[in-house]
Amino acid sequence: MDTIFAEATPPGRGGVSVVRLSGPKARATLESLAGPVATPRLAALRALRDGEDLIDRALVLWFEEGHSFTGEEVAELHLHGAPVIANRLAQALLSRGLRRAEAGEFSKRAFLNGRMDLAEAEGLADLLSAETEAQRKLAMRATEGELGRKADELRVKLVRAGALIEASIDFADEEVPEEVPPEALDLIAAVRADIRLMLAGYPATERLRQGYVVAIVGPPNAGKSTLLNRIGQRDIALVSEVAGTTRDILELHTDLRGLPVTFLDTAGLRESSDPIEAMGVARGLQRAAEADLRIHLTVDGIADAATAGDIVVRAKADLGRAEGISISGLTGEGVAELLDLVYDRLRVRAADTGLVGHKRQAEALQRALSALEVDHDMAPEFLAEALRQAAQALAMMVGRVGAEDYLDEIFSSFCIGK
């Protein structure tokens, strides 16, 4: 096993720059630079020397195998935060036979050494890319290993059901048809109910993880782009009195009180003989249909295309009072209330989130559920096999088996040094 190293802090100047080493030579390498470091997990201020050359005075510490992030021997060097120092150290480490870590390699080793399961690793990746408070909370929960514990709990039930069924096979009279023990069927039913519940929370969890999309739609010149600029408080979209100004879809990423929301400004909806404008309208319609929510900006408060849950508002409130919700992108009137409404609609969805937020996890759960589509008049041998398959699918969900196919995909999304 190679000993790897990487800067754990972002490259560049800063207060400190932390370089992390992991692998069998971590401690020996640290000692070759800093002298003996007897006590693990105790920071010491040391001169780091490569031969005669004083590289830096740094805070150093090391972790024993089995007691570190990766599960391997790990050393950390807290250098003064200057790239020249980290580069000089890297040279010393390379000359001692260490190699630079690949993206996510520390976390991958942590997974391979059983320090975290695959769902926790996915949670860690989500945590690193979280942009809002709600995403942080969701990801943090995933890194705590709750899904793994739930999977284990369900597997224990399946194993117990399997044991009851196997016992009934062993003791059954050859002549008498075998009875499936009712307790086993109850256990299976309980596991199925739990899996259904977990799957029910998946769409909402996945949406919060990825962030919500809210499309602003309406006729040309309704003031869609003006509204987008008002929400973003800057000039994102071109605004003009010419109908058909917006063609490409413009995106505004926001943090709406902790919820990740991307607002889309789209081309005004109308039949157009201009092929470019028509392309813009088609694209806008498509993205709006896929969005979590649509704001229909209207002249008269009527939006034929609105579907249940959409928000319909009158535009240009500054030009005169009208029934219903009206806003003015120009003056900002009603925009805070509109955002309240958007937040309320999305918050309801964010409240339904659960432990399963990745397609890979949901698919494994679905396989477990399908395997458990059993009933009492099935042969016990058949039932026992179904239970084994379901338990296998649950193990795969958290990467206890069959994780190989996903490792690169998951860990390459991490940065170098994580």
Is 114 marked within a binding site?
A: no
Residues 6+ apart with CB under 8 A from 264: 213, 214, 215, 216, 249, 250, 251, 252, 284, 287, 288, 291
**Residue 357: how many CA atoms within 13 Å on its side-chain side?**
32
Q: Which of ligand GTP, Mg ion, K ion, none does residue 318 bind to, with CB < 5 to 8 Å depending on kind?
A: ligand GTP
Rounded to 5 degrees, φ, ψ at 98 are -85, 160
Place of tokens 């338990």: 391
Site track 230-269 with Mg ion (rule: CB under 5 A), x = hit: ---------------xx-----------------------
Binding segment (CB under 5 A) for K ion, from list 53-61, 69-77, 128-136, 216-224: 216-224
Judged by CB under 6 A, the residue of 268, 354, 399, 417 near ligand GTP is: 268
Q: Least distance from C-beta 256 to ligand GTP, angstroms?
A: 21
Judged by CB under 5 A, the residue of 9, 132, 135, 221 near K ion is: 221
Q: Which of residues 193-232 bind ligand GTP (CB under 6 A)?
A: 220-226
**Residue 244: how many CA atoms within 13 Å on its side-chain side?**
11
Judged by CB under 5 A, the residue of 225, 229, 328, 392 near Mg ion is: 225
Judged by CB under 6 A, the residue of 174, 241, 323, 404 near ligand GTP is: 241
How far is the C-alpha of 174 from the C-alpha of 168, rounded, in Å? 12
**Burial of 321 (C-beta count, 10 Å sphere; 0-12/13-18/19+):** exposed
Q: Which tokens in the block code for residue 320?
A: 């005169």
Number of Cβ atoms within 10 Å of the Cβ of 89: 22
**Burial of 139 (C-beta count, 10 Å sphere; 0-12/13-18/19+):** buried
Q: Least distance from C-beta 215 to Mg ion, angstroms?
A: 13
Is 246 marked within a binding site?
A: yes
245 binds K ion (CB under 5 A): yes
17 binds ligand GTP (CB under 6 A): no
> Closer CB to ligand GTP, residue 132 or residue 328?
328
Residue ranges at the known binding site: 20, 76, 115, 221-226, 240-246, 265-268, 418
Residues that bind ligand GTP (CB under 6 A): 220-226, 239-241, 243-246, 267-268, 315-316, 318-319, 328-330
Residues that bind K ion (CB under 5 A): 221, 245
